[in-house]
Structure 1
Amino acid sequence: MGRKRTKSGKIRLAEVAELAGVSPITASRFFRNPEALSVAKRTRVESAAKELGYVPNLAARALASQRTEVIGVLIPSLTNNVFSDVLRGIYDASEGSRYSIQLSNTRYSILQEEKLLRLFLAQKPAGLIVTGIDQTTESRAMLEAADCPIVQIMEIGPDPVDMMIGFSHYDAARAAVAHLFEQGHSKIGFVGARMDPRVQRRLDGYVSAMKDAGLFDQRLVVTTATPTSVTLGGALFTDLLAREPLDAVFCANDDLALGVLF
């Protein structure tokens, strides 16, 4: 005679516990925190779950614990190589843990980011990783009220919501221009695209360093709101060379720099 099923036909946790020879509480603990069980009990519960085809009800678990085991990640691009490396690091760090990663693409839109934050927070995530510091007032309020760890990445600023990992784009640009000065260059151009807030701060750093040296000339700057690409980098550099002779160029990102080199 087969085991009883719920009306929906789904396997219940109690059935897994019975087959594994443990209490339902112990079986539940396996799916929440397997490290808390002995190796023998983990093996029995895991084997029973596989045999029965049991799948934990994450929604019910979230209601009971007021928290899912999902870490939400909001990045502005899935094609930019920089963010590919960031995602690789996130997945590498979470591998082997009980947490899963839920990814969303804001497409450099702070309004889209606000919409996605509202969606993520409604799902009671274990944590959120958010790109940058330029959230809308509403997004900032939601993050400050969130009952989970928040990490802002790719930048640092004076007022973190919770934690920050990154660097100052303004200071980095100043340091890059200072390095070019040290190499004997003075006619230094700037190439920028998309001009999101992070790129704008790189431009501000460049302008500040050039003005401090008495070398700033607006004709040395070429920018566009067009999304960045290698081809665009080459086109912008061609435009820049048609304006003024250069002995160096500061590019706002790697894609543009590759276009300049090629």
Structure 2
Amino acid sequence: MKCALVTGGSRGIGKAISLQLAVDSDYHILVNYRKDQTAAHETLKSVEDAGGKGSLLPFDVSNREEVVKALGTFQEKNPEAVVEVLVNNAGITKDGLFMWMKPEAWDSVINTNLNGFFNVTHHLIQNMLMNRYGRIINIVSLAGVKGNAGQVNYAAAKGAVVAATKSLAQEVGKRNITVNAVAPGFINSDMTEDLDEKELKKMVPLNRFGQPEEVAHLVSFLASEKASYITGEVININGGIYS
């Protein structure tokens, strides 16, 4: 059973990615979520309604012991399962000006967005190396490549994942494992619902926010055989706001 794991896969961009992978591939979709079980079940139903197969895999990416336990238990129950595709999508924001930022806002954003990448990828990379195949796609952000006022913590975490993407790609390329990052701009999702779209879209050459499905198509391509010669790349998908 060949699997694709999408962290934070129950809502927004993660949900769209889970669904698109189900449509475009034969992968068994592992929908990871932290606490919104209702949304996770809805995503799994969408995957199945699209003709795909999947399972729910609850764990907090920022908790290393929880990650190891959840993935280890899944492997024990499904010894024939091989995770070939990993989409590190789980992320949180706690925005605020740096001078007033509480340590907890820094720590929690770094723990989820950066350490979460380490915890999940580090656990799965060994099997990818042994199998000589893998696709790792890290969802970063416009903030991580351009910077954004009020998001020093988020930009720091995503910028670090950008650098990690480029470095890891150089380490594992010889084993036919590609590592790429996708950097969305303003995408209609839970994370942007409080933003003033009417005002902010003026900054975007395409004059609109993007849709989660547009990001999902790009991720699905990078997860496929068609993208086998692309690695170490950071692909912006932001309507031209930064390119």
TM-score bracket, normalised by the shorter chain, equals: 0.3 to 0.5
TM-score w.r.t. the length of structure 1 is: 0.32
Q: Which has the higher contact order (CA 8 A, sep 6+)?
A: 2
Larger Rg: 1
TM-score w.r.t. the length of structure 2 is: 0.34
